[in-house]
Amino acid sequence: MATIGISTEQHLNMYRDMWRVRKFELALEREFKRGKVPGMLHTGLGQEATLVAVAHSLRREDGIFPDHRCHGLLFLKGTPGAKIMAELFGKATGVCSGKGGSLHSADVTVNNFGDNAVEGSFMVTALGVGLGWKMQGKDSLVAVMVGDGTAGRGEWHESLNLASVWKLPILYCCVNNGYAISTPVAFSHATGDLVEFATAYKIPAVQVDGNDLLAAYQATQEAVAHIRAGKGPYFIEYKTWRWQGLFSGEFRPKEEVQYYMEEHEPISMAKAYLLKEGIVEEQQLEAIEKEVENEIESWVQFAMESPQPDPAKATANVYVGWEVESWQ
Ligand SMILES: Cc1ncc(C[n+]2csc(CCOP(=O)(O)OP(=O)(O)O)c2C)c(N)n1
Ligand SMILES: [Mg+2]
């Protein structure tokens, strides 16, 4: 049985990928607390439906600029998951030889152009990629993953403006999880509905429930079709919620926490839909969850057993003109 033009296989693939993102982040958080993952950790927990909707709407040759909650998107884009896990562990087998970590991992083989610790800065870099591809006549697009907090940055506005003027193939994926660190969206922006910024710059824009997998997927599909037809950029505001604060401790009202973690939790919502529509049996979904558990733990195992990077290669691939080694 298929709904909104989605085959049963596609439903199951998306469901599986939501679990992959969830279990990847849970395993990472566990190992972070054990001191195995260096640096800071921001997870995409709670935002799985948005990440999967975007990943399943892109082709391998499309570009991504992932933000700090997009570990899941890094492997859903095509980089082997074990190499992403190893990268976050800072190991030599990581996709950037352990030098990129969470915030600077890139993989040009799948057109993942990497994150940047300066929020919003890659929004202008994305203009360059989009302009280049447009000039070359490619029908690829570049997806930019940005949080709500980034809407206060100058680059946000410069990027939306020029993308609109030049009709660039950019998909703005605004992940509005309600807070930047602990500041509610409406406290720091002129509007709490960030689509309004895009509309002001004459970019087609929609707001969608980012915890509702099918709603998010359908909106992303429409956006992608618009961009591939050469009509210029598109902006989607995915309304979602992150499980994690930026630091330990809960600052949000307990009713809100309960709502998003129990009643409006993306994986339970997807599961309820699949069962209600009779698309799959419950045992099939349970089997998927178990398979994913094993897959993710094998990535953790790989990362644990991998060697630390060679200090002699610390500067390789970091500065132009210095020793160059292959990333692969
Ligand atoms: C220019 C800049 N200012 C501040 C920071 C520190 N910082 C890291 S994450 C973050 C909050 C970002 O909020 P949002 O974009 O809503 O993303 P979320 O963490 O909620 O997913 C801030 C302020 C930064 N990385 N870059
Ligand atoms: Mg936010």
Catalogue all structural domains in the chain, each as residue range(s) with its CATH number: 8-246+258-304 (3.40.50.970)
Starting from the CA of residue 244, give the closest ligand.
Answer: 1
Query: Distance (Å, rounded) from C-alpha 17 to C-alpha 288?
Result: 10
- Answer for the pair 176, 141: CB distance below 8 angstroms, yes or no: no
Residue 313: pLDDT band with limits 50, 70, 90: confident
Contacts (Cβ under 8 Å, ≥6 apart) of 48: 18, 21, 22, 72, 266, 267
Counted residue by residue, the chain has a size of: 328
Beta-strand pair 205-209/234-239: parallel
Ligand 1 atom closest to the Cα of residue 181 is: 11
Q: What is the pLDDT of residue 244?
A: 85
Query: Distance (Å, rounded) from C-alpha 288 to C-alpha 79?
Result: 21
- Answer for the pair 221, 234: CB distance below 8 angstroms, yes or no: no
Query: Distance (Å, rounded) from C-alpha 325 to C-alpha 328?
Result: 9
229-273 pLDDT per residue, tens = 999 999 999 999 999 876 656 789 999 999 999 999 999 999 999
Ligand 1 atom closest to the Cα of residue 119 is: 26
Output the CA 181–ligand 1 centroid distance in Å. Answer: 7
DSSP tag of 149:
G
Query: Distance (Å, rounded) from C-alpha 319 to C-alpha 323?
Result: 8
153-210 pLDDT per residue, tens = 999 999 999 999 999 999 999 999 999 999 999 999 999 999 999 999 999 999 999 9
What value does the mean pLDDT take over residues 34-52?
Answer: 95
Burial pattern 113-126, b for ≥16 Cβ within 10 A else e, equals: bbbbeebbbbbbbb
Output the CA 157–ligand 1 centroid distance in Å. Answer: 16
- Answer for the pair 225, 232: CB distance below 8 angstroms, yes or no: no
Residue 316: pLDDT band with limits 50, 70, 90: confident
